[in-house]
Structure 1
Amino acid sequence: MGTPHTAGADDAGDASPAVPWGADRALLDHLLNRAPIGMAVVDRDLRCVWINDQLEERGGIPRDKRLGRRLSEVLPGLPAEHIEARMHEVLTTGVPLIDHEYQGRTASDPDHVHAYSTSFFRLEDGEGRPAGVCYLVIDVTDRWRARQRLALLSDIGARIGTTLDVARTAQELADVAVPDLADFVAVDLLEPVLAGVEPEPGPVRRANPDLIRVGQRSVREGRHGGPDDDLVESIARIGERAPVARNSPGARCLVDGKAVLEPLLDPHLLPWLAEDRVSSDRTRRVGLHSMMVVPIRARGTILGVTHFFRRDTPDPFESDDLILAEEFVSRAAVCIDNARRFTHEHAAALALQRSLLPHGLPRQTAVEVASRYLPAYDRAGVGGDWFDVIPLSGARVALVVGDVAGHGMHAAATMGRLRASVHTLADLDMSPDELLAHLDDLVIRFVDEEGAGEGGVDTTALGASCLYAVYDPVSRLCTMARAGHPPPALVHPDGTVEFPDLPAGPPLGLGGLPFEAAELELPEGSLLVLYTDGLVEGRDRDVESGMARLRASLADPDRSLDELCRSVLGILPENPPQDDVALLIARTRKLDSSKVVSWDLPADPAFVAEARTLAGRQLAEWGLDEIAFTTELVVSELVTNAIRYASGPIRLRLIRDATLICEVSDATSTTPRLRHARTTDEGGRGLFLVAQFTQRWGTRYTTDGKTIWAELLLSGPE
């Protein structure tokens, strides 16, 4: 073995004097031959004056080329300037530096980065003056790599699963693994997973599974362009199908659920690679030399597969790398499965909500309407915004918009219950304030019913808002009431936009507080814009600025309603929005006076015949002789019923709309009942006959009595 080298005055490579620390020759020989760590001594100029065999071997530079030279002159692959700065610090201060770590390459292994731990202490001569620095070097590459792996694992929690989006989570897996673990990562998922559907449990049994490339990342991201580029690692791009070669590691791990490590991608050693000529040629051209394949598995179900490759990193994958990759994929699989389940639940909730919203607006002539529903972004979940258009008696129409607090299945289901309730109450022809009062009672009942169940109290319906408006095209009067809802926008034919000062009723479910209605006369061609709060407010938007933007978007009211809808939704700062948005725009119409006629009749049975005559004469004028007999029969029964059971003045009104509407009003609020008369009964068949000869009939109550109405088709029965 070597011996300590003492540089003399004649040695051009070392001007240092004899080693001043007087070490015994035998002891130095023992250090050179037996020391398990590298050691060296430098003089005050930081030039090497002594080195043991261990450090000579690890550095890969012969001793005769190291002695008399600085570290930066012989090992440029190390951070030599940084190391020499630490030596100079120890030489100057005399304070030892223990376990100083750095990374670099040495001549003995220039293709790989190693980590070293070095300790420095000062050497002094017999008079206590600094004579040099001795340092000890230990290769701690394994420890360094273990810390790197731990750091990567700790990084997973912060970087994977930041959203409940399947594709985004898969891409995050690829982003975390490159470049610290692999040079190229591809994440392929089974096609049903992207739709939120759970694949069958256990292995994938199909020979050619439908895998979709969902995430990938390369250290050469800039050269990751198209499939014709010979330098890209894979011909599959994100969103495309990712073929799985027969007998390949990807196909095997999909079946048995076990990860595969291929340290060396050599077609001569791997039959499956030799069979796949396309992959073999691309592997050779790109320079892929090592691979790991890990199945993406959660709760016993295979969701896809992840490929890890190395091309620029010379080291092949090792078993420790496979353990790290499995940990990566295992944690990502849980996030992907959570995102898949969220996608499934969100799709189901959205389908439920869309099924509960109107699929088409009903035919009516009172207003021209257009509507839009814009769901919130996925993470917000499905909301409970809704709208409706409900034809009422007397050619009137109800316009409704509402908002249920919260998101998800409960919100969608509650919205459906409220919408059905509003339909039922609207059929009773209630005034808007009365309808909201009954709806408020129903919401309280909903909450009480949920509280009595095993699942605890569901307060989804509590705090819901609603705006209910009734427009009459005959009088052009619009009656509105609101429960905790933003006021509508009213656009006059001249383009003036205002927000009517409607009484602000409380949200639904609070109980005990009254609702008030307001009545407005609207010029023909006015626009009534009903919306939910997601249109005008958000986390970073206040209501006032939102309503100002809404006002500006409604300029030029002569545009089509579809154009106006696009203009209104254009005020949203983002699409999809932070909260659901429901929008309903109605342009009012006026029923021509020539299509409405009414007569005041005395409460005298003798005038029943007169009522039939007046009705028949009017139908002849309208050209509706075909239904004259049926109409006269209905008028006769309704007028007779009013004279017999009511009091006060009686009014007969005919309205020619999409149907012929017959109305008889009186001053009492007695509820008429449909009876099934027996054979021997002399009366009781009036309303029964009305029901048989009309399309529909009903009763609505007014402040001064009631009106019984019936609708007849404009053409007689075929």
Structure 2
Amino acid sequence: MNRGTETDGAVAEQAASGRIPLAVVVVDREGLVSHWSSGARRLFGAAKEEAIGYPAVDLLPVSGALPEDDDVSPYGAYAAYDGLGHDLESSLDGRLYYPAAGRARLTVPDRDRVDVLWWAYPLVGPGPERLLVLGADVGRLQQDAQDHDDPTGYERVAPGFALHTDFPGAEELARGLPEILPSMSVDESARIVGQILELGYPVLEFSQNDRVPVTPDWGVPRRVERRARRERAARAAAEGLPLAQDDADTAEDLEYAAVRERLEFLNEVSGRIGTSLDLSRTIIEVSRAVVPRFTDVAGTYLREQVVAGEGFPEGVPDTTTMWHRVAVEHTDEPGRWDDVVPVGEAMPFPAHTPFFQCMTTGDPVLVPRISEEMGHAIASQFEKRDIRPLITGRSMLVVPLKARDVVLGFMILLRHPERPVFNDMDRVTGAELAARAGLVLDNARMYTYQESVAETLQDSMLPHIPPRMAGCDINTRYLPGTLLGRVGGDWFDSVKLPGARTALVVGDVMGHGLNSAAMMGQLRTAVQTMAALDLPPARLLRNLDDLAQRLGDTYLATCLYAVYDPIAGELHIANAGHIPPVLVRADGGHSELLDLPTGAPIGVGGVPFEAVRVRVEPGDRIVMCTDGLVEVRGEDIGVGLATLCESAAHPAASMDDACDTIIRSLNTRGGRKDDVALLMARLNGIAPQDVAEWRLALDPVEVGRARAVVREQLHDWGLDRLADSAELMVSELVTNALGHSRSRPVELRLVRGDTLLCEVDDDDHDLPTLLNAGPADESGRGLRVVSVLAREWGTSRTSTGKAVWFELTLPRR
């Protein structure tokens, strides 16, 4: 029906500019009322005490939608709303999954018929709220229509929904929407408001073309109106003039209005602080929240342990407790306070000061005016700086920042002399403000402390990989994530293996926090231990998966394990659910993602792992990283992998530059929240002429042959200066190997690289250890000689026995 008359237009205009008293009811997941507004009490006749916690069906005596019958119902436009599928009664039973609206009739005994417009919103989320119901008295609308000489206009009205973007004043409506919600936290309110805006703002429809937004009317003046009335009442009282009736009512209600305004202020401040768990940012938020509305100067002091990110401070503060000034916010001219009370200064406070009284009692201290005497006493603790001109004559309130009954710090609040002094209500308000700020600061402190512990744990577990291994150069990067609790379980590692080989590892424990970092440490230690046993990559991942199963099923991890053999010129790689590595070819500079069997993550259990061998040439580079580098929320991971390949192939002057190029290319895309581990190795290889190998029979005479071939080979390499030391150590190792080997010949290998590496292999699995040989002992001195003469030495198991090795530093040319 189109509205074509001037009367209809006037009615719609009046509705658009007026407000409708609303009943607001919130129903929890059990079907019980959790909020019952004063409008609900007036409309449905039950007091708040009789409604909260009781079944909503019993409290909203609604028989359902009014029948569509021209003989008995004047609501001609209502039929469309019956098609929304739910009436209010069934909505209260918890069967509502989408917004519904309708027109219903109350069945309250001893009352005239009351027809109600209603809107019902299903709510989702972590809170207990599951349904929000708004109700309006149709009779009230009809009375408004009659007052405007339109007895039928409002009878055509029907409830509906409209997205807030349907109206020119959408943003203003969105800001006003929280007014119809019950008192709740800012996060809960924002969550419900977001859902209502998404489902549709409540509207009145006069026809298919005319829609008017519902604006709630609580029947109380707005804040600006109340403030104006209070000002008029104050002026009248000062001048001894009689008050107008409205102003007289306001004067009687000044205390109530002041309390309400203070509560509104505290609610507003609560919404402005605690937006971050960063301690320094939280401190700034707390200081700026009170200036200039509540005070003109706000100085924040925290205990030394809180600033240092240490544990929870213990004990009552005393005159030796150091307090750090962490923030000063003021309305004075710039720089006036900066030189006298600089941020970052630490100081104790004497026992005679109001600050000491506040910190020891944990109660606010109010000083209506700072006298000359008190100003002098306070200023005496500031050496070579006169603070008296800044504080004398001002009103001061010192409020403690407490958490769990421990004073973490305090705030010094000062008002200009021309501003009203702090009073008892201000003291209560300041105490409540400080209590909320203290909890927020403690949350930030605990997060900072836990993060520091996790970072320390993780830093201690991340290895310091040497930049050069046998036949390869290695460079790494680690970037913490940007999420809260960002410390994660990403790691990289390299392990020296027999035969001049190197194991390269990158892993990622799923999740973040202390537990992930601890799990990472366990897995990394296990990988190092099993790598030292020279297990093939697939078997190592199989054993790592078994270990993760024994540790528990709480965490999963991905892992990429590669063994580089610089002599054979190949990579032996196995993958456990990790993103594949990138191989950059030296010949042509092109890059490729290696096609590996993906495998399942570590911890899944019962899944086989496969390994592949990849031929590489000297100068090739392998890039291994965790998914935090290439994965961005809302973007296909293939885009990140393509960018990784492209950036890895980019020419670079050094390995450092190559890593930086990759980080810049992928880290600037935005959206990265996970931590990142990156390992790049340049596979230099070892030329055949730099390797010499011999097989020695199980005969003591082979010891002399070993000494001779080593001396001859070192002479050929131009390393005669190392011959004496190398010959002596080889003699000791070969003698031990011949004494312990069972059936297989002993193998002797010399490798010339950045150092001179010597390895002696036999088929005995027992690893030798250093012994303290006495004067009469015939054995136990060989490894002692090696440990003294070698640059580095060690032992490791092999698939056939063990290897004992040592390194000597090459002489400078």
Q: TM-score higher than 0.5 here?
A: yes
Say if 1:98 and 1:119, in contact at 8 Å, map to a contact too: no
**One-letter code aligned to 1:406:** G
Q: CA deviation at 1:426?
A: 0.8
- Alignment deviations for residues 183-242 of structure 1 (CA, whole Å, 9 cap, x no partner): 3322221232112224653432125x5333334444x4xx6532xx4xx59943544557
2:692 aligns with 597
Distance in 1 (alpha carbons) for counterparts of 2:349 and 2:671 = 36
**One-letter code aligned to 1:350:** E
SS in 1 for 2:503: strand
**One-letter code aligned to 2:512:** H
1:661 aligns with 758
Q: CA deviation at 1:486?
A: 1.3
Distance in 2 (alpha carbons) for counterparts of 1:553 and 1:195 = 40
675 and 573 in structure 1: CA distance in 2 versus 1, 3 angstrom threshold: closer
SS in 1 for 2:601: coil
Q: Which runs of 5+ in 1 are unaligned?
A: 1-88, 121-134, 448-457, 677-684
Distance in 1 (alpha carbons) for counterparts of 2:547 and 2:735 = 39
Distance in 1 (alpha carbons) for counterparts of 2:396 and 2:706 = 94
2:595 aligns with 501
Distance in 2 (alpha carbons) for counterparts of 1:242 and 1:633 = 65
397 and 314 in structure 1: CA distance in 2 versus 1, 3 angstrom threshold: same
**One-letter code aligned to 1:631:** V
Equivalent of 1:625 in 723, 734, 738:
723
Distance in 1 (alpha carbons) for counterparts of 2:430 and 2:669 = 37
- Alignment deviations for residues 439-497 of structure 1 (CA, whole Å, 9 cap, x no partner): 111111111xxxxxxxxxx71xx311111111111122111112111112222223212
- Alignment deviations for residues 106-159 of structure 1 (CA, whole Å, 9 cap, x no partner): 4963999xxx99878xxxxxxxxxxxxxx9754233222111112223334433
Q: CA deviation at 1:160?
A: 2.7
Distance in 1 (alpha carbons) for counterparts of 2:391 and 2:786 = 82
1:211 aligns with 323
117 and 425 in structure 1: CA distance in 2 versus 1, 3 angstrom threshold: farther
SS in 2 for 1:164: coil
Q: Structure 2 matches for 1:526-675, cutoff 5 A?
A: 526-570=620-664, 571-573=666-668, 578-598=673-693, 614-615=709-710, 617-622=712-717, 623=720, 624-626=722-724, 627-628=726-727, 630-631=729-730, 634-635=733-734, 638=737, 645-646=743-744, 653-657=749-753, 658-663=755-760, 672-673=765-766
Equivalent of 2:608 in 508, 511, 514:
514
- Alignment deviations for residues 510-548 of structure 1 (CA, whole Å, 9 cap, x no partner): 111111112112221222222111111133544222223
558 and 281 in structure 1: CA distance in 2 versus 1, 3 angstrom threshold: closer
136 and 600 in structure 1: CA distance in 2 versus 1, 3 angstrom threshold: closer
2:560 aligns with 467
| Number of equivalent positions | 565
591 and 675 in structure 1: CA distance in 2 versus 1, 3 angstrom threshold: closer
Distance in 1 (alpha carbons) for counterparts of 2:308 and 2:592 = 45
Equivalent of 2:259 in 146, 167, 189:
146
609 and 378 in structure 1: CA distance in 2 versus 1, 3 angstrom threshold: same
The reply on whether 1:295 has 2:393 as its aligned counterpart is no
164 and 225 in structure 1: CA distance in 2 versus 1, 3 angstrom threshold: same
Equivalent of 1:354 in 459, 462, 468:
459
Distance in 2 (alpha carbons) for counterparts of 1:699 and 1:190 = 54
SS in 1 for 2:613: strand
1:427 aligns with 532
118 and 415 in structure 1: CA distance in 2 versus 1, 3 angstrom threshold: farther
Say if 1:638 and 1:686, in contact at 8 Å, map to a contact too: no
696 and 196 in structure 1: CA distance in 2 versus 1, 3 angstrom threshold: closer
Say if 2:375 and 2:391, in contact at 8 Å, map to a contact too: no
Say if 1:615 and 1:635, in contact at 8 Å, map to a contact too: no
Q: CA deviation at 1:573?
A: 3.7
**One-letter code aligned to 2:564:** Y
Distance in 2 (alpha carbons) for counterparts of 1:320 and 1:467 = 64
2:280 aligns with 167
**One-letter code aligned to 2:692:** V
SS in 2 for 1:192: helix
1:264 aligns with 369
1:72 aligns with none
Say if 1:375 and 1:382, in contact at 8 Å, map to a contact too: yes
**One-letter code aligned to 1:152:** F
SS in 1 for 2:574: strand
**One-letter code aligned to 2:743:** Y
Say if 2:767 and 2:796, in contact at 8 Å, map to a contact too: no
1:383 aligns with 488
Distance in 2 (alpha carbons) for counterparts of 1:585 and 1:372 = 9
Say if 1:488 and 1:499, in contact at 8 Å, map to a contact too: yes
407 and 99 in structure 1: CA distance in 2 versus 1, 3 angstrom threshold: closer
SS in 1 for 2:653: coil
Distance in 1 (alpha carbons) for counterparts of 2:235 and 2:564 = 87
Distance in 2 (alpha carbons) for counterparts of 1:99 and 1:119 = 16
Q: CA deviation at 1:616?
A: 5.3
1:489 aligns with 582
473 and 269 in structure 1: CA distance in 2 versus 1, 3 angstrom threshold: closer
SS in 2 for 1:380: coil
Q: CA deviation at 1:370?
A: 1.6
Quote the RMSD (CA, aligned, Å). 4.1
298 and 634 in structure 1: CA distance in 2 versus 1, 3 angstrom threshold: closer
432 and 625 in structure 1: CA distance in 2 versus 1, 3 angstrom threshold: same
Say if 2:402 and 2:435, in contact at 8 Å, map to a contact too: yes
422 and 688 in structure 1: CA distance in 2 versus 1, 3 angstrom threshold: farther
Distance in 2 (alpha carbons) for counterparts of 1:324 and 1:177 = 11
**One-letter code aligned to 1:146:** V
- Alignment deviations for residues 38-92 of structure 1 (CA, whole Å, 9 cap, x no partner): xxxxxxxxxxxxxxxxxxxxxxxxxxxxxxxxxxxxxxxxxxxxxxxxxxx9xx9
Equivalent of 2:479 in 358, 374, 379:
374
686 and 364 in structure 1: CA distance in 2 versus 1, 3 angstrom threshold: farther
2:426 aligns with 321
158 and 264 in structure 1: CA distance in 2 versus 1, 3 angstrom threshold: same
2:227 aligns with 103
Say if 2:395 and 2:415, in contact at 8 Å, map to a contact too: yes
Q: How high is the sequence identity, in percent, across the aligned residues? A: 34
